[in-house]
Amino acid sequence: MNASSANALGTVAVLPDARDSGIYQTSPGLLRRRALGPWAEGIAQYMAIRVGDAARGRAAFQSLSRLLSSLPPEELLVAPGPRAQLYRLARSIAETERAMPGPIAEDLPWRDHSGRHGKALAKLREALDPDDAELLELRHARELSVEEIACVLERPVDAVELALDTAEALARKALGKAAPDPVAANATVYVEAFALARSWQELEGGLPPIEVDEEALEPGTLIGGRYAVVDRVGTGAFGDVYRAEDVEVPGHQIALKLLRQPSLSEAARQSALRELKLNAAVFHPSLVQFKDHGWYEQRLWFVMPWYEGETLEARMKRGALSRREARRIFEPLARALAALHETGIRHQDIKPENILLTRLPGTDPESDDGILPVLIDLGVAATEQETMLGGTPLYFAPEVAKRFVRERHGGPDVTSAADVFALALSLRNALEPGTQEDVAAGAIQAFVERRAEEMPPLPEARDLRYLAPSLRTWLSLDALERPSALELAEELAILTAPEERRARRGRLLRWLVPLMTTLAAIFVLVVWALDRRAAQEEVAARQARSAAAEARADYIVADARRQALEEGHASLLAQYERSRMSREELAESLATQGGQLRIVRGELARTLEQLEGAQQQATRLGGTLADAQRESERLRGELDASRSEAGQRLRERDAARAEVERLAAGLQGAEARARRESDRADAAETELTEAR
CA contacts within 13 A on the Cβ side of 305: 15
Amino acid, res. 439: V
Amino acid, res. 647: G
Angle formed at CA 284 by CA 280 and CA 290, multiple of 5 degrees: 40
Which residue blocks in 343-416 are alpha helix, DSSP H?
398-405
Residue 24: pLDDT over 70: no
Instruction: Give the residue among 134, 130, 108, 110 at the shortest CA–CA distance from 120.
Output: 110
DSSP percent split of the chain into helix, strand, coil, nearest 5:
65, 10, 30
Residue 204: pLDDT over 50: no
The total number of residues shown for the chain amounts to 692
User: Inter-axis angle of helices 497-621 and 323-342, to 10 degrees?
Assistant: 80
Alpha-carbon gap, residue 598 to 590, rounded angstroms: 12
Residue 616: pLDDT over 70: no
DSSP 611-661: HHHHHHHHHHH---HHHHHHHHHHHHHHHHHHHHHHHHHHHHHHHHHHHHH
pLDDT digits (tens, 9 = 90+) for 331-352: 999 999 999 999 888 888 899 9
Burial class (CB in 10 A: 0-12, 13-18, 19+), 235: middle
Amino acid, res. 333: L
Q: Is the pTM of this model over 0.75?
A: no
Picking from 28-37, 219-228, 276-285, which range would have the lowest pLDDT averaged per residue? 28-37
> H or E element: which one contains 594?
helix 497-621
CB-CB neighbours of 435 under 10 Å: 16
Quote the radius of gyration of the chain (alpha carbons, Å): 62
* Contact present, 171 and 129 (Cβ < 8 Å): no
DSSP reduced 3-state for 156: coil
In which band, very low, low, confident or very high, does the pLDDT at 27 lie, cut at 50, 70 and 90? Answer: very low
Residue 351 DSSP label: S
Beta bridge partners of 296: 299
Alpha-carbon gap, residue 193 to 17, rounded angstroms: 42
Alpha-carbon gap, residue 352 to 169, rounded angstroms: 42
pLDDT digits (tens, 9 = 90+) for 490-535: 999 999 999 888 887 777 777 777 777 787 778 778 778 777 777 7
Q: How far is CA 323 from CA 328, 368, 431, 497, in A?
A: 9, 12, 7, 10
Percentage with pLDDT > 70 across the chain: 68
In which band, very low, low, confident or very high, does the pLDDT at 156 lie, cut at 50, 70 and 90? Answer: very high
CA contacts within 13 A on the Cβ side of 279: 23
Beta bridge partners of 299: 296
In which band, very low, low, confident or very high, does the pLDDT at 479 lie, cut at 50, 70 and 90? Answer: very high
Most confident of 87-101, 112-126, 395-409, 605-619: 87-101
Q: How far is CA 420 from CA 121, 416, 429, 485, in A?
A: 36, 7, 14, 6
Residue 220: pLDDT over 50: yes
Most confident of 50-64, 266-280, 322-336: 322-336
Q: How far is CA 309 from CA 1, 53, 104, 331, in A?
A: 39, 36, 41, 18
β 292-296/253-259 pair status? unpaired
pLDDT number for residue 6: 34
> H or E element: which one contains 266?
helix 266-272
CB-CB neighbours of 279 under 10 Å: 19
> H or E element: which one contains 3?
helix 3-7
Residue 270: pLDDT over 50: yes
In which band, very low, low, confident or very high, does the pLDDT at 416 lie, cut at 50, 70 and 90? Answer: very high
Residue 13: pLDDT over 50: no
Picking from 67-81, 188-202, 442-456, 605-619, which range would have the lowest pLDDT averaged per residue? 605-619
Instruction: Give the residue among 458, 476, 477 at the shortest CA–CA distance from 468.
Output: 458
Most confident of 60-64, 263-267, 662-666: 60-64
CA contacts within 13 A on the Cβ side of 455: 18
Mean pLDDT of 596-611: 64
In which band, very low, low, confident or very high, does the pLDDT at 386 lie, cut at 50, 70 and 90? Answer: confident
Instruction: Give the residue among 357, 349, 221, 242 at the shortest CA–CA distance from 303.
Output: 242
In which band, very low, low, confident or very high, does the pLDDT at 135 lie, cut at 50, 70 and 90? Answer: very high
Q: Give me the domains of the chain, ranges plus CATH numbers.
A: 3-203 (no CATH), 222-483 (1.10.510.10), 548-691 (1.10.287)
* Contact present, 68 and 32 (Cβ < 8 Å): yes
Residue 601: pLDDT over 80: no
Average pLDDT score, the chain: 78
β 355-359/371-375 pair status? antiparallel
pLDDT digits (tens, 9 = 90+) for 141-150: 888 999 999 9
DSSP reduced 3-state for 261: coil
pLDDT number for residue 22: 33
Burial class (CB in 10 A: 0-12, 13-18, 19+), 332: buried
pLDDT number for residue 9: 40
Mean pLDDT of 69-92: 86
Which residue blocks in 37-100 are alpha helix, DSSP H?
40-51, 54-70, 82-99
Residue 81 DSSP label: -
Q: How far is CA 437 from CA 535, 554, 576, in A?
A: 77, 99, 117
Whether residue 182 is preceded by a cis peptide bond, meaning omega within 30 degrees of 0, is: no
In which band, very low, low, confident or very high, does the pLDDT at 21 lie, cut at 50, 70 and 90? Answer: very low
Q: At residue 152, what are phi and psi to the nearest 5 degrees?
A: -65, -45
pLDDT number for residue 8: 35
Alpha-carbon gap, residue 12 to 4, rounded angstroms: 11
Alpha-carbon gap, residue 340 to 324, rounded angstroms: 25
Alpha-carbon gap, residue 562 to 683, rounded angstroms: 10
pLDDT digits (tens, 9 = 90+) for 176-197: 877 776 655 557 888 888 888 8
Alpha-carbon gap, residue 130 to 535, rounded angstroms: 101
Mean pLDDT of 191-220: 69
* Contact present, 69 and 215 (Cβ < 8 Å): no
DSSP reduced 3-state for 257: strand
Longest dimension (CA), the chain: 207
CB-CB neighbours of 396 under 10 Å: 24
Q: At residue 465, what are phi and psi to the nearest 5 degrees?
A: -65, -30
pLDDT number for residue 188: 81
Alpha-carbon gap, residue 413 to 62, rounded angstroms: 40
pLDDT digits (tens, 9 = 90+) for 237-260: 678 899 999 999 998 999 999 988
pLDDT number for residue 461: 93
Residue 207 DSSP label: P
Burial class (CB in 10 A: 0-12, 13-18, 19+), 432: middle
DSSP reduced 3-state for 227: strand
Picking from 23-27, 649-653, 663-667, which range would have the lowest pLDDT averaged per residue? 23-27
Instruction: Give the residue among 338, 336, 339, 346 at the shortest CA–CA distance from 385.
Output: 346
